[in-house]
A and B are shown apart, each in its own frame.
Chain A
Amino acid sequence: MLAMNYRGPKRVRIEEKPMPEILHPEDAIVRVLRSCICGSDLHLYNGNVPDTRVGTTFGHEFVGEIVEIGSEVTKVKVGDNVLVPFNISCGKCVFCKQELYGNCHESNPEATAVGAIYGYSHTAGGYHGGQAEYVRVPYANVGPTIIPPGMDLDDAVLLTDVVPTGYQAAEMGGIQKGDTVMVFGAGPIGIMAAKCSWLFGAGRVIIIDKEEYRLEFARNYAQCEAYNFEEIGDIAVFAKKTTDSLGADVCIDAVGAEAAGNAMQTITGRKLLLQAGSATALHWAINCVKKGGIVSIVGVYGPTDNLVPIGNVLNKGLTIRANQASVKRLLPRLIEHVQNGIINPKALITHRLPLEEVAEGYRMFSNKLDNCIKPVLIPPSAKI
């Protein structure tokens, strides 16, 4: 089968790889119909996440058809079209029982801080991802969710990560009616977080980025205010000036390790790898939020140290909430929202590429070429 193959920082290629096999009685094999390149894949692509081994296949956003199941799989059957949450969760451990599906304790031997994620380094379990024609899906009784009849595959694939992560970012913000929400990063997740902030009753939503095409997209898609941080001077002053001089009620960091806008962070994080990427957006979120406010983090950082203004967190009495999205918990509500036209996920997709062009896809997304917001890969065996 064809699959993406990571060869080192900024080097990926498409290659023939062995078919995945059932290795556990709760495994299923899925024929991929759509997979995406996610903004957080870029942290891997750039070599920022420890234990990203050469030869692995990325891709934690995918949908497909079940083609084989293990002996203990009862919830799905061969022929079902499923969307597969990006978290691999056992459904039995204390964290899964608490619906913290992103924190499962029975899927990732390498780290205790994070559960397993498809195609997201050995630090996240060492699983191959879905940027391939076929993929092994463990715990098939828990994660895979049958795509409702009539749902577009392009909508379904964004329900595996983008929509739940954006929604959870807003949810973790504890938004109260009328709140001002400031979102850092106008990538797909940031745009979705801005969109979902309205669902929790925000009175004002502001998104910050430096790419004009993304800001324009956010204005249209999420009906929010959008500002270019390169044009607004000091962002903390800007935030105070535009919010009765107090700050935003809720700030959302939807950037993580690849943040631009602070030379010190860029050099120590993105270039020298001495901290887990560049914590610029988090820094700004802490300094732009109101005292007693909430900072919600969904931007992905690696596990090493960060230059974060934690003193300000204390001084300001902030609540910081962060996690990988608990996709399975959120799916029923989000499917409802998609079916009722409240959220239109597929509108985020700007590029559809054959899987064979995965290297170009990564380059395009990483370097923000051709106004790319969200690229989707279609394997040759998808035949649609």
Chain B
Amino acid sequence: MEDNRPLEDNMPFENNRGPADHSHIKGWGIDADPKNDPTYPMKKRTNGEHEGYTWERPTQQPVNMEILHSIERPNVTAVFGTAAPLRGLSGAIRRMAFKNSENVYSHWLPLIMADRVDMVEGIIDDFKHGKIPNIFAEKGYVAEWNYNKTGLLARVAIVAGITAAVVLLARSNSRD
């Protein structure tokens, strides 16, 4: 008779350790070193850590755009990324978030909110530049169609069904 109980029920309370010979595993134990306990990074500590913010700093990248920096550090780092400058309402929210330290929700939650606002600003920006975002392509639905046709069709059917139900409900309410 087939035993359908979860695997754990069929297991005894014992170690099912395999044979002690691991020679079939290439490289077994090659990096074992009992001296590595505790290991990196503790073994690399020196007195340098007690000297604080005193190292010879790299050349400063010119700060010619608005760069937000954590209030837990005194300055902008020697280099920084310039991927997406602050803009619009999302930028204003981000500025507000950076008045608080990394230690508090009032830093992180506004940033998450700003990301959502930024997404809407991105769509508006696309339209401003005469570009209609191709949501189907951007969400990679071509791959979904190629490898999970049934799942995709099922999801489309569910959304269509819910939409149709909402429309019908709204119409029947408006007749009342």
- Measured CB to CB, the residues of A under 8 A from B are 7-13, 23-27, 47, 50-57, 72, 88, 90, 92-94, 97-100, 105-113, 116, 119, 122-123, 125-128, 138-139, 171-172, 174-178, 180, 198-201, 203-204, 223, 227, 231-234, 237-238, 240-245, 273, 302-305, 326, 329, 333, 337, 340-343, 359-364, 367, 369-370
| 8 Å CB contact of A107 from B55, B75, B79, B121 | B79
Residues of B33-92 at the interface with A, using a CB-CB cut-off of 8 Å, are 34, 36-41, 44-46, 48-49, 51, 55-59, 61-62, 67-70, 72-73, 75-84, 90
Residues of chain B contacted by A342 (CB below 8 angstroms): 26-27, 30
Bound Cα distance A333, B7 (Å)? 39
Q: Decide: A109 and B73 in contact? CB cutoff 8 A.
A: yes
- B123 shortest CB reach to chain A, Å: 8
Using A7-B133, A303-B108 as known contacts, say yes or no to A204 and B27 having CB atoms under 8 A apart. Answer: no
Bound Cα distance A342, B121 (Å)? 49
Residues of chain B contacted by A106 (CB below 8 angstroms): 57-58, 77-79
In the complex, the number of residue pairs spanning A and B with C-beta atoms less than 8 Å apart equals: 280
Among residues of B, the one whose C-beta sits closest to the C-beta of A177 is B32
Bound Cα distance A359, B116 (Å)? 20
Residues of chain B contacted by A99 (CB below 8 angstroms): 40-41, 44
Using A241-B12, A369-B147 as known contacts, say yes or no to A198 and B27 having CB atoms under 8 A apart. Answer: yes
- B87 shortest CB reach to chain A, Å: 9
Bound Cα distance A369, B7 (Å)? 27
Q: Tell me which of B6, B26, B51, B75 has the highest count of chain A C-beta atoms within 10 A of its own C-beta.
A: B26
| 8 Å CB contact of B7 from A57, A126, A172, A227 | A227
In the complex, which range does the number of interface residues on chain B fall in?
Answer: 35 or more
What is the predominant secondary structure among interface residues of chain A facing chain B? loop
Judge whether B157 is part of the interface by a CB distance below 8 angstroms.
Answer: no
- A170 shortest CB reach to chain B, Å: 8
Q: Decide: A203 and B22 in contact? CB cutoff 8 A.
A: yes
Bound Cα distance A126, B44 (Å)? 29
Q: Tell me which of A90, A97, A175, A242 has the highest count of chain B C-beta atoms within 10 A of its own C-beta.
A: A242
Residues of chain B contacted by A9 (CB below 8 angstroms): 119
Q: Decide: A242 and B30 in contact? CB cutoff 8 A.
A: no
Q: Decide: A55 and B31 in contact? CB cutoff 8 A.
A: no
| 8 Å CB contact of A23 from B82, B108, B134 | B82
Bound Cα distance A57, B109 (Å)? 23
Bound Cα distance A86, B72 (Å)? 24
Among residues of B, the one whose C-beta sits closest to the C-beta of A128 is B83
